Structure 1
Amino acid sequence: MTDTGTIHARDDRAVREVLHALGAAWAANDADAFADRYTDDATVVLPGGVFHQGREEVRRYMAAAFAGPLKGSTSVNEPEHVRLLGDRAAVVVSRSGFRLPGEETLSADRLRRATWVLSRHDAGWRVEAYHNCPA
């Protein structure tokens, strides 16, 4: 593999690791660890017109969700396509959703397609923008 290929493979793994880390934070119901993977000015768009801007807003939203309707839930983020845009940005399309406590499979009504925009920083890859819609 060429140096470029090695760098590409390393960045691809690092980008995928962000989604894995978000899933681990979700499983732990840890809003701080979840939000820490987002940039300070990240944007999140969810079905129903929900819009969040900034890491702290993401943190507050997830803390309330983990304390309420999403308590004990786990997320699913299976990358279907990772596209690196140079060496500092990436777009990921994933099959996403969440399972409620006791569920082993993802319910069709909670299946989503998500688009993630990530950028590389000194502290690693971070989410710049996230959007999902029903699959």
Structure 2
Amino acid sequence: MTTTSPSSTAASPSEADKAAVVAIPQRIVAAWAEHDAQAFADVFTEDGSLILPGLYHRSRAEIRSFMAAAFEGPFKDTRVTGQPVDIRFLGGETGVLITQGGVLAPGETEVSPERAIRASWLVVKRDGQWRLAAYQNTPVNTPVSQA
């Protein structure tokens, strides 16, 4: 995983900040493992956004509601995995994290090619805590059509 800052004049993030940002995906993984929509939503800022293929939710309450229904429906008995592949700090309180992973169906130990994703995580530090302001993912194996 690479870590960069926007310029040499910007303050470098502390090791504690780096660790807190890298831990955000693991907080999502843990919430998903428990099918805990509240814990999942609590990773986001109050006005955070979640973009998945075909879906857009904006607010912690919308995200919590969506995940509660998803854990009872299409995500029932699933797990999620993801590993950071890049992290960039855009200042002392903003960063972008790129991960690769996906949803694991029951019994799977590796993400299937059709469920493999890359994700962008816009993270912000508010009141001393790093939270997820915006999350978006896209399938790894779905090529963009060229017109």
- C-alpha displacement at 1:8, in angstroms? 2.7
> 90, 93, 104: which one pairs with 1:85?
90
2:74 is the alignment partner of 1:33:
no
1:67 alignment counterpart: 72
Equivalent-residue separation in structure 2 for 1:83 and 1:112 (angstroms): 19
1:22 alignment counterpart: 28
Moved over 6 A (4+): none
**Aligned pairs, number:** 130
Equivalent-residue separation in structure 2 for 1:129 and 1:36 (angstroms): 13
Unaligned runs of at least 5 residues, structure 2: 1-10, 141-147
- C-alpha displacement at 1:40, in angstroms? 1.0
1:99 alignment counterpart: 104
> 43, 52, 67: which one pairs with 1:46?
52
Residue 52 of structure 1 aligns to a residue whose secondary structure is: strand
- C-alpha displacement at 1:132, in angstroms? 0.7
Give the letter for the 1:51 counterpart: Y
Unaligned runs of at least 5 residues, structure 1: none
Structure number with higher helix proportion? 1
Percent identity over the alignment is 39
Equivalent-residue separation in structure 2 for 1:128 and 1:76 (angstroms): 20
Give the letter for the 1:16 counterpart: V
TM-score w.r.t. the length of structure 2 is: 0.84
Larger Rg over CA atoms:
2
- C-alpha displacement at 1:68, in angstroms? 1.4
2:121 is the alignment partner of 1:116:
yes
TM-score w.r.t. the length of structure 1 is: 0.91
2:14 alignment counterpart: 8
Give the letter for the 2:103 counterpart: F
Give the letter for the 1:22 counterpart: I
> 114, 125, 136: which one pairs with 1:131?
136
Equivalent-residue separation in structure 1 for 2:32 and 2:22 (angstroms): 16
> 44, 56, 61: which one pairs with 2:61?
56
90-99 or 68-77: which moved more? 68-77
